[in-house]
Structure 1
Amino acid sequence: MRVTHAMYKTCNASLPLETYTTGNDSITITTQGHHFYMCGVPGHCQGGQKVDINVPRTPSADVAPTPLVSVSPPAPAVKAPAPASNVANSKKSHSVLLGLAGAVLFVVFGSSMILA
C-alpha cells in the first residue's frame, strides 16, 4: 500500500493512499520525490517490510548530456596455423597465438578499463 511519510514512519496502515491486493501488482512512478510503500499485514511493516523510493529531480535541459562512448567491434578471428612437426615451430606458433589473444583482450577489455 502507498502511504504518507507520517504513516510510513509509524507503520500506520489505517488510511492508505492506495492499496494493491493481487500479490502481482506493478507500480509506475511518474513524479519526483519520495514515495512511501509498506505491507498492510499486521506486524509486517514493523518487521521491515516497507520501502521509501526517492526519485531524484531530473537534470535541467541546459546541462549538456554525457557523450556516449562507442566501443570498437572485436578484432576479426584469426585462424590458427596448422600444427608443426617440430618443437621449435610449435613454440613459435604458441607465442603468436598468445600475442594475438593478448591483443584481442586489450581491444575488448582495455578500452573499457581506460574509460572507467
Structure 2
Amino acid sequence: MQVTHPDYQSCNASNPIATHTTGNDSITITNHGHHFFLCGVPGHCQSGQKVDINVLRAAMVPTPSVSPTPTPDATVPATPPSGAATLDAMAGLFCKLGFSMAVFAAFALVLA
C-alpha cells in the first residue's frame, strides 16, 4: 500500500493512497520526493515491512556545444550487468499478499 508519511510512521493501513494486491505489481513513480509504502497485512508493518523511497530531482547537466566521439570505454551497455536485480525477478520472492521488500529494493535499484 502507498500511504502518507504520518500513516507510514504509525503503520496505519486504513486510508491508503494506492493499494497493490497481486504480488506482481509494478509501480511507476513519476515525481521526485519521498514515497511511502507499507504492507497492509496486520503486524507486517510493525515487523518492518515498510519502505520510504526517496526519488531525487535529476541534476541539470550542461550539454556540450560539440559532442565528442564516443570511445568504447564511454559507451553504456544496452542491458543491465549480469546479476542486476529487476522488479520482475524479485517480485515473486517474498510475501504473496502484495508486499515484497524485494520489489521495493529492486525498484530502488532501478531508480538508481
Same fold (TM over 0.5): yes
Match of 1:23 in 2: 23
Shift of 1:69: 6.2
Which structure would you say has the larger RCO, counting Cα contacts within 8 Å and 6 or more residues apart?
Answer: 2
Match of 1:36 in 2: 36
Please give the alpha-carbon distance, in whole angstroms, between the structure 1 residues aligned to 2:73 and 2:59: 26
Please give the alpha-carbon distance, in whole angstroms, between the structure 2 residues aligned to 1:42 and 1:69: 54
Q: Percent same amino acid at aligned positions?
A: 64
Which deviations, in whole Å up to 9, do the C-alpha atoms of 1:8-32 show, x marking residues without a partner? 0000001000001111111011100
Please give the alpha-carbon distance, in whole angstroms, between the structure 2 residues aligned to 1:69 and 1:58: 25
- The TM-score, its normalising length taken from structure 2, stands at 0.56
SS of residue in 2 equivalent to 1:6 = helix
Match of 1:64 in 2: 62
Q: Any gaps of 5 or more consecutive residues in structure 2?
A: 75-112
Which deviations, in whole Å up to 9, do the C-alpha atoms of 1:55-99 show, x marking residues without a partner? 001113xx336x876429xxxxxxxxxxxxxxxxxxxxxxxxxxx
Q: Which has the higher helix share?
A: 1
Please give the alpha-carbon distance, in whole angstroms, between the structure 2 residues aligned to 1:3 and 1:69: 45
Larger Rg: 1
Q: Any gaps of 5 or more consecutive residues in structure 1?
A: 73-116
Match of 1:9 in 2: 9
Q: CA RMSD in A?
A: 2.3
